[in-house]
């Protein structure tokens, strides 16, 4: 079935209709979790992540992680996710009519026992002798306090049109779950995808990770922790706070923006301590461990790190990591985009999405590195 959808011209290339495609797991594959109907379009936080509102006295989450990602929706999808606070929702005044392709198959799976430990997989059916496809794991943002994988379903669906299998993941949130629980969950989600690769016709040796904001931080952790290429072949991170302690310091400056102040508070929730002269050794150990550049070494995954010039998570959050990676012989590119958008808001730039896809295709070519 095909459907005509009216979309804003600026993001028509990434807009997909939401016609449900029936599907299900085979008897020998992981069992999908129960699903419910899709709620109305979620709110947007200053992180640029859909499905959330800014923390005020505690985190607030958006759509539940157990929802079916393949349920129908008639809302206009934002460009790759959502726009930051103060920006539009991705809908522009210019109109363009496009015929969208049928949606991929999609199902929600549990990779752990916690209600947050779920993934949504998006894939297209192939013949029995089809060549396995590369996969992209997508990690949402939200100050490590909030956010949901469902906000990236349009981005994931679009990736399937580019020849990838896309998997969006939730992970446990602070302050209930403290570091390194978030990295542990990202690693577990990745291991689940690799274990069940045949379910979606994935080549387990060709997996990359894309993350935004705090999800970008987790993406760079996957690319550096241990030997990064043992986990993923490449990392794309949009506005990643790769050094939480630096984010904590920036949020304490007199000219810090409200978003930077919120990020500073989020860091203390993440590591369950307040950095300072009297801080105990365990706190500094967690902060050091959460700094992706401290794990940089030969054999880590190549990275594409992106920020806008006015991003509240500044370019310096990635230049330090990129320098450490290059010193170890690992390719790392830091890309600067004009403007002040954050995380998924970077996708509003017409060159960002095509650039990401090109980079991923180059990194995930068949054969050895």
What is the DSSP code string of 167-227?
EEE----TTTS-TTHHHHHHHHHHHHHHHTGGGGTEEEEEEEEEEETHHHHHHHHHHHSSS
d(CA 101, CA 310): 36
Question: Tokens 């393949």 correspond to what residue?
Answer: 70
Please report the pLDDT score of residue 114 as a whole number.
98
- Assessment of whether the complete model's pTM goes beyond 0.95: no
Q: How far apart are CA 68 and CA 62, in angstroms?
A: 14
What's the topology of domain 26-73+104-363?
A: Rossmann fold (3.40.50)
Strand bridging mode 118-123 / 105-110? antiparallel
**CA distance from start to end of the chain:** 39
What's residue 31's pLDDT?
61
Instruction: Evaluate the CA torsion angle 292, 328, 317, 193 in order and state its sign.
Output: negative
Extract the tokens encoding 280: 């105990």
What local confidence, expressed as pLDDT, does residue 4 receive?
40
The pLDDT tens digits along the chain (369 residues) read 444 443 443 444 444 333 333 333 333 356 665 443 333 333 334 344 433 333 333 333 333 333 456 443 333 343 444 333 332 322 222 333 344 568 999 999 999 999 999 999 999 988 778 899 999 999 999 999 999 999 999 999 999 999 999 999 999 999 999 999 999 999 999 999 999 999 999 999 999 999 999 999 999 999 999 988 999 999 999 999 999 999 999 999 999 999 999 999 999 999 999 998 788 999 999 999 999 999 999 999 999 999 999 999 999 999 999 999 999 999 999 999 999 999 999 999 999 999 999 999 999 999 766
Q: How far apart are CA 117 and CA 134, in angstroms?
A: 23
């Amino acid at each position: 079935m095909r459907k005509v959808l009216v979309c804003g011209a600026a993001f028509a290339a990434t807009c997909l209709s939401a016609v449900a495609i029936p599907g299900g797991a085979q008897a020998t594959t992981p069992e999908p979790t129960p699903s419910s109907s899709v709620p109305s379009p979620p709110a947007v936080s200053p992180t640029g992540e859909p499905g959330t509102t800014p923390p005020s006295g505690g985190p607030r989450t958006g759509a539940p992680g157990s929802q079916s990602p393949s349920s129908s929706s008639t809302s206009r999808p934002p460009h790759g996710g959502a726009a930051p606070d103060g920006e539009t929702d991705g809908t522009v005044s210019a109109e363009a009519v496009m015929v969208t392709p049928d949606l991929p198959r999609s199902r929600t799976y549990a990779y752990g026992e916690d209600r947050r430990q779920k993934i949504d997989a998006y894939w297209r059916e192939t013949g029995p002798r089809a060549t396995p496809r590369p996969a992209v794991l997508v990690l949402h943002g939200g100050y490590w306090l909030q956010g949901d994988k469902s906000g990236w379903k349009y981005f994931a669906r679009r990736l399937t049109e580019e020849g990838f299998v896309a998997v969006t993941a939730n992970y446990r949130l602070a302050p209930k779950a403290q570091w390194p629980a978030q990295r542990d969950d990202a690693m577990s989600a990745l291991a689940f995808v690799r274990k069940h690769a045949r379910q979606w016709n994935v080549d387990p040796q060709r997996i990359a990770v894309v993350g935004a904001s705090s999800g970008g931080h987790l993406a760079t952790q996957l690319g550096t922790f241990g030997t990064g290429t043992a986990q993923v072949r490449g990392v794309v991170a949009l506005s990643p706070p790769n050094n939480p302690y630096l984010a904590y310091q920036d949020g304490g400056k007199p000219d810090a923006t409200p978003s930077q102040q919120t990020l500073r508070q989020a860091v203390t929730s993440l590591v369950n301590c307040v950095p300072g002269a009297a801080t105990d050794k365990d706190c500094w150990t967690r902060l050091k461990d959460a700094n992706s550049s401290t794990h940089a070494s030969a054999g880590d995954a190549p990275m594409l790190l992106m920020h806008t010039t006015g991003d509240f998570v500044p370019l310096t959050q990635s230049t330090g990591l990129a320098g450490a990676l290059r010193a170890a012989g690992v390719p790392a590119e830091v890309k600067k985009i004009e403007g002040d958008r954050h995380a998924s808001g970077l996708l509003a730039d017409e060159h960002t999405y095509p650039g990401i896809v090109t980079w991923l295709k180059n990194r995930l070519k068949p054969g050895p590195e």
